[in-house]
Amino acid sequence: MKLPFSRRTQQQAQLEQEIQSHLQMAASDRAERGESAERARQAARREFGNVELVQQVTRDQWGWRWLEELLQDLRYGARTLRKNPGFTLIAVLTLALGIGANTAIFSLVNGILLRPLPYDQPDRLVQVTGFYPKGAFAAMRSRRVQSMDVAAYAEGYECNLTGQGVPARLTATLVSADLFSVLGAPAEAGRTFRSGEDVATQNNYVVLSHHLFQQRFASDPSVIGQWIKLEGIQRQIVGVMPADFRFPSPQTDVWIPLDIDPRNTVSYWAGDFMPVIGRLRRGATLSQAGAEIRLFQSQVISLFPWPMPANWNAGVGVVSLRDGLVSDLRTRLLILLVAVALVLLIACANVANLSLARAAVRGKEIAVRVSLGAARSRVVRQLITESTLTAVVGGALGLSLAAAGLSLLKSILPADTPRLSDVTLDWRVLLFAAALAILTGIISGTAPAFHASRTELTETLKAGSRGSTHPAGQSLRRALVIGELGLAVLLVCGAGLLIQSLWTLSHVDPGFRSENVLTARVTPNESFCNEPSRCFSFYRDLVRQVRLLPGVTNAALINTLPLGGSVQKRSVNIENYLPATSSPAPLLWMNAVSPGYFQAMRIPLLRGREFAETDTSENSRVAILSADTARRFFPNQDAVGKHIRLLGQKDWCTIIGVAADVRGYDLRHSVPQWMDGTVYIPYGPVASLEDGHVAAEMTLVIRSAGSQLPLEEALRKLASSLNEDTPIAELKPMPVILSAAVSAPRSITSLFGAFAALALVLGIVGIYGVISFFVGQRTREIGVRMALGAQPRDVFALVLREGLSLTLIGVAVGLAAAFALTRFLGSLLYGVGATDALNFAGVAALFAIVALAACYIPARRAMRVDPVIALRYE
């Protein structure tokens, strides 16, 4: 069977032969009647008509005509682009930047928001939007939820691995026994947890991550079944997870079963709340699961051993697990995707303007083609094909830029960004880039193609080599420039707001002085502090010896370092304060600190005094409140001398001081929104946690006068000499922690700012191109004006007016769009309004200045036009 192309070649040859035979026969007939051979050939061709048109009509009857024309258009387009390397290079680079940026951001959106989770039947995995303590989760699992199988986990825990060489601090996730089966994630080696292995006294097991298995155990398969010591507790290794299993985050080193014990009321009902996930059962839907979990929520309150607020977890619901894991990122990524799409639109407008200018130069060529019989639709297809070919080449280059820039993007985003490790250039991204390149070519080429196809044949053919300039073309070019300037103004306004917000956030007073402060997390085993006196003695000796180190001016301890990511909550009774009937006791952030902490951190004491060594004894009951907490619970009073009582303790604590507010939770808030304030308790017998134990993990705060590098090794030796199983988990300068607190807004602002800068450059290039074309097309007019007495400054003003008029309209359109749309940035802003007038005015002034700069060169060129040369200009 012959291929269509080989048949078509034969048919084409036969058609040409048949036409030539017909022409020869007609010419022979005329020659026999006495006409000369030359006149006979001319007359025969004249009677036959347009040979190319006849061939085209005949070929249309054969089928596959569209493919042949496409190949012709591609070949012709490639030749045309090769003959105009300047235009091709600028267009390809412009589109490559836009397509590459879009592809890179889409790869983030794809990997984080769109890509299915790497588990069995991921569409059936869901997450409960409320968090539940162990007791409520146990009730949910046992008998009250029928639409799904449920599991729970709690991340952010850490444990010491000892007895395996140098002690190591591991990141652990506590999980219910059925978490792995609910996810549909089997172990790579060994097994996962079995049902019931999360019940107290039956949970001495551990599952290792693949990277820990490689690094700490040298990938030795014989470790399955062996016992290791975590936090002083012997646990048996039952399995190793695959390398691609990273739930709930890549930082997890080990998975440890929950300790579900109904006898421990505090741990069972008042312990840390845990995220709950589930797998929908056969036939169950997301809406059914949501309805059932809301019904369960109305019933579970009665199971608590103490009264709960009626609105507790009132907004509970069920969402897909994929959406639940990345819910905080969705808005930011979509905003970035919209921003980079606007950059691509600006790039398309720029290329369209270039194509319009080029079409004006190619006017005679197009007119000749139309006069020879080419249909206008055929011309349009040809020009759009050229544009698409340009965009495809730009897309290929843009894909290379996206691949090179993806690692940079991943480094800009915070390391704890969910699913960041899943971001790759997979087939979805490649398909997106291909579709985007074709769509970009069509968008940027359609308007110039239709404009060029409307060429007036007579006027164009008379115009010689000058081409032709039509008002419609000028209006379209102006509209494109106004549009791209408007989009650029919108992006720059948004970037300005984000930059202002980041600057304000970066200059927030955290309430302490971070300069020359080194922090070190000290992490003895929990069991080490089962004897509180041993724990207190260890830390007292550690602080005393650290203060003796060279260069150290002060040292102290705190259980929850400001901006450190950990929170210790404690319900309290407050003297003469009666909460509303439906409200629980006030919940405060409890900071256990050693004497000297406020001095070491340079936190001002607004009233009263700091803790002394005598306040750490068992008989002392004192506390310090933050300023905001004191104002809230003792309005218009001096809080010093008043009393509070930690829930579960009998004795009241006397408030001996009021400290300045510290941004402990993040730089926007001192405490989480669900907490009521901050209290400081001296680290000692009084500073017990909710479960009655004292804090084992503490953070050393060391203020030094010199270099901090020699301190690190000295600290490790000191901790090891006092307790060989106590590692120093983390050493960080406080300025680094302060900088990390703005890493998320900094990353979004950096990317958005880069897109806005690119949009600004493209916008200025667009207006420069239009004004340059304006000067080139009106060279003859400028020469006439100057011949009639116009001064160079008049010509200069004429060109500037043209450029500034376009700029002013574009800025007005952009500011109007920004006023309407920047409110969507509200959740990302701090300390600045979404319609900040100063920001808008600054952007308008910026565009006015850069537009003047862009118009200056064409205006100067117009001033130097020689009237004699201009009047001869064609």
Whether 274 is in a domain gets the answer: yes
What value does the mean pLDDT take over residues 607-611?
93
Q: How many domains does the structure of the chain reveal? A: 4
Whether 90 is in a domain gets the answer: no
* Final residue belonging to a domain, choices 307, 327, 347: 327
- 579 and 716 share one domain: yes
- 164 and 306 share one domain: yes
- 546 and 528 share one domain: yes
- 769 and 700 share one domain: no
What value does the mean pLDDT take over residues 305-311?
75
* Cα 538 to Cα 548: distance, rounded to the nearest angstrom: 16
Least Cα distance to 306 among 585, 26, 60, 74 occurs for: 585
What tokens were used for 502? 């980041």
Q: How many CB atoms lie within 10 A of CB 499?
A: 17
- 322 and 343 share one domain: no
* Cα 680 to Cα 870: distance, rounded to the nearest angstrom: 84
Of 41-50, 137-146, 575-584, the range with the highest mean pLDDT is: 137-146
pLDDT at residue 503 greater than cutoff 80: yes
pLDDT at residue 412 greater than cutoff 90: no
Which residue matches tokens 């340009």?
A: 390
Hey, is 224 helix, strand or coil? coil
Query: Torsion over CA of 771, 773, 777 and 781, rounded to 10 degrees?
Result: 20
Query: Torsion over CA of 557, 561, 565 and 567, rounded to 10 degrees?
Result: 70
pLDDT of residue 3: 44
pLDDT of residue 151: 92
Least Cα distance to 126 among 316, 328, 258 occurs for: 316
pLDDT at residue 1 greater than cutoff 50: no
SS3 per-residue string spanning 20-73: HHHHHHHHHHHHHCCCCHHHHHHHHHHHHCCHHHHHHHHHHCCCCHHHHHHHHH
326, HSE (Cβ side, Cα atoms, 13 Å): 24
Burial 205-221 (b: 16+ CB within 10 A, else e): bbbbbbebbeebbeeee
- 318 and 360 share one domain: no
The Cα-based distances of 586 to 256, 578, 673, 675 in angstroms read 32, 10, 13, 8
Whether 142 is in a domain gets the answer: yes
Question: Looking at per-residue confidence, does 857 or 622 come out higher?
Answer: 622
- 197 and 312 share one domain: yes
Query: Torsion over CA of 830, 836, 842 and 847, rounded to 10 degrees?
Result: 100
pLDDT at residue 616 greater than cutoff 50: yes
Q: Are 833 and 496 in contact (CB under 8 A)?
A: no
Whether 456 is in a domain gets the answer: yes
- 335 and 303 share one domain: no
CA angle 221, 225, 230 (to 5 degrees): 105
What value does the mean pLDDT take over residues 547-568?
89
Q: How confident is the model at residue 788 (pLDDT cuts 50, 70, 90)?
A: confident
Give 19-67 pLDDT, tens digit per residue: 777 777 877 777 777 777 777 777 777 777 677 667 666 666 555 565 6
Q: Are 795 and 862 in contact (CB under 8 A)?
A: yes
What tokens were used for 485? 């300037």
Element (H, E) at 274: strand 274-280
pLDDT of residue 362: 63
- 265 and 312 share one domain: yes
pLDDT at residue 363 greater than cutoff 70: no
pLDDT of residue 182: 93
Peptide linkage before 635 cis (omega within 30 of 0)? no
CA angle 506, 510, 515 (to 5 degrees): 85
Q: How confident is the model at residue 207 (pLDDT cuts 50, 70, 90)?
A: very high
* Final residue belonging to a domain, choices 666, 691, 726: 726
pLDDT at residue 374 greater than cutoff 70: no
Which residues are CB-neighbours of 238 under 8 A, at least 6 positions away?
A: 187, 190, 191, 192, 193, 205, 206, 207, 224, 225
What value does the mean pLDDT take over residues 730-748?
89
- 352 and 450 share one domain: yes
Q: Are 12 and 59 in contact (CB under 8 A)?
A: yes
Whether 586 is in a domain gets the answer: yes
Hey, is 701 helix, strand or coil? strand
What DSSP string describes 654-675?
EEEEEEPP---S-SS-SS-TT-
The Cα-based distances of 354 to 44, 311, 360, 437 in angstroms read 45, 61, 10, 18
Whether 20 is in a domain gets the answer: yes
The amino acid at 126: V
* Cα 843 to Cα 845: distance, rounded to the nearest angstrom: 5
pLDDT of residue 662: 95
pLDDT of residue 579: 72
Cross-strand partners of 589: 569, 678
- 811 and 831 share one domain: yes
* Cα 229 to Cα 169: distance, rounded to the nearest angstrom: 12
Whether 648 is in a domain gets the answer: yes
Element (H, E) at 448: helix 427-453
What domain range includes position 158? 122-327
Phi, psi values for residue 48, rounded to 5°: -70, -35
Q: How confident is the model at residue 257 (pLDDT cuts 50, 70, 90)?
A: very high
Q: What is the pTM of this model?
A: 0.80
Q: How confident is the model at residue 610 (pLDDT cuts 50, 70, 90)?
A: very high
pLDDT at residue 2 greater than cutoff 50: no
* Final residue belonging to a domain, choices 327, 356, 379: 327
Whether 72 is in a domain gets the answer: no
Hey, is 243 helix, strand or coil? coil
Q: Are 569 and 590 in contact (CB under 8 A)?
A: yes
- 306 and 336 share one domain: no
